[in-house]
Amino acid sequence: MNLPQLHYAGGPEGSGFTAVTPGVGGELLREAEPLLRYEPPLRAPSAGFPEALSLSVLSDGSRLLSRAVHTGAGFDFESGYGYGDGSGAGADFHAHAVHLPEPAGAGPARPLPVTAWGSAQWEERTPAGGPPPPLERIPAPGRHDRAALAAFVAARGPWLAGFFADVRRAVEEPDAPRLLLVEEDSAAVARWVMLACGVLPHERGQWLTFTTYARRPLLAPQRLVGVLPGDEPAEPGPWRVYGAAAGAGAPGECGDLWARTASAVWLAARPELFAQVRRLPAEPYAPGPLASL
């Protein structure tokens, strides 16, 4: 594969691209720019500044995988330094992106984009030495903490079936509600996304768009959007809200048998069954093969 890299940074004097793999056209840069901007939270976050790992589908069907982080030594919450029009101007941040030119599902099966969470290959500064060369593959996965994931699944178990049912609708129905994931820590949002992408048929997991953090969630174009507590919409609308910090009550009954089965698989700590069922000759969401493994 030939995956161009883009580096975009913001500071007191504005924001813009700082290094780009040769050959990337202006149209791609214009479309990518608003997806790479980072707006810090309004309040000092208890878990540190959130990390925005995102996957977006571009107008030509290609995808942009990016990671944006706050890079300033401090932040003046009283003055609101870094705020204004949401452009990211004034905020100290760095975004590192990888362009995936092929549409999701093209070519052989590849790692899910969300596996790049925690990768050591993401840069937090513009690299020295001139324009970056293209990558052969998406950034390698970070460390997988099985115990932390198991604890996450157990704590959110009652809501998993409903979440998986909504995820299924999000990838199959263009007008389905978006999912807002309200968590104090963007790592927890990444785990929600990992669960979602992991249960889906592989191609659908490749193009399920997400961001682990958005200061203004209703302006984010992705289907799964990470939100800090207090930034979620106060009024109901065309979205569903999940997360430990969402203040959700007891979940209702989920009528989606596939979603209930997928939830049971995760709660049994058997996620490898999803890979096995993808190799069976069955409909994408048939619960029988998954339940029989």
d(CA 9, CA 212): 19
Give how far the C-alpha of residue 145 lies from the chain's centroid of Cα atoms, to the nearest Å.
18
The predicted pLDDT at position 251 comes to 72
Instruction: Please state, as a whole number, how many other Cβ atoms lie within 10 Å of the Cβ of residue 122.
Output: 21
In 3D space, the residue among 280, 140, 119, 114 whose CA is nearest the CA of residue 208 turns out to be 114
Answer for the pair 107, 32: CB distance below 8 angstroms, yes or no.
no
For 59, the token pair is 């107008």
d(CA 33, CA 15): 10
The predicted pLDDT at position 293 comes to 45
- For the chain, state the CA radius of gyration: 19
Answer for the pair 96, 123: CB distance below 8 angstroms, yes or no.
yes
Give the predicted TM-score (pTM) of the model.
0.89
The predicted pLDDT at position 229 comes to 92
**pLDDT tens digits for the chain (293 residues)?**
799 999 999 987 789 999 999 999 999 999 999 999 999 998 767 668 999 999 999 999 999 999 999 997 545 544 444 444 444 445 699 999 999 998 776 666 688 999 999 999 999 999 998 899 999 999 999 888 889 999 999 999 999 999 999 999 999 999 999 999 999 999 999 999 999 999 998 889 999 999 999 999 999 999 999 999 989 888 888 899 999 877 666 677 888 899 999 999 999 888 877 777 776 655 666 665 554 44
